[in-house]
Structure 1
Amino acid sequence: MTGVVIALFVSQLLLALSLPAHLRTLTPVLARNPARFRRLALALRSIGYPLLTASAALAMVHWGPALGLTYWFGLFALTGLSAALGLEFLNRRHAR
């Protein structure tokens, strides 16, 4: 179960960081170089989506197909909320 939660959290964090608004807030240097930003966003997405799929597979292996997907969607919401709150905290911290 811990592996599912960690994989979900990291994958959602990577996918959120592949969006321009979040990544530019954390690293404003990338705003000046759009080609480098596109490569980095593509790399983050190419790691985030397979990790998201792997977390669903881990949940189905651990709890079975039906219950695994049910728990996975519940954990998806919890880890997504924690990732969003963490990014918002970092955004406000960098704004000061």
Structure 2
Amino acid sequence: MQRLNRGSSLHVESHSDILVSPDGLYEVGLNAYSFAIWFSNSANQTVSWIARRDRRVNGRRSRLSLWKDGNLVLIDANDAVIWSTNTNSTSYAEILDTGNLVLRDCNG
């Protein structure tokens, strides 16, 4: 998947629920009980960034969701918000070839 649209989620149980950079070097998803960006071609999928490194999410039913109001949130199994971007105009999220996760509004 190349972008996460409003109203969509990435789920920890689904290994195919990831965002991939256009060049395939970076992936974004729920990995090792956290929301992370990692190098897809490294031997151990080396992590380059983790949201809320000090507060892990449950290995089941956790998800990263782009709410319809434009806020990107990491939600634990008990529906608690673990991490949030506190944005309200995001139309979609995508990972760039630089490894940066960007949030875009309807104007890009």
Query: Could you tell me the TM-score, scaled by structure 2's length?
Result: 0.22
Higher helix share: 1
Higher strand share: 2
The one of the two structures with greater contact order (alpha-carbon pairs below 8 A, sep at least 6) is: 1
> Rg bigger for which structure?
1
Query: Could you tell me the TM-score, scaled by structure 1's length?
Result: 0.23
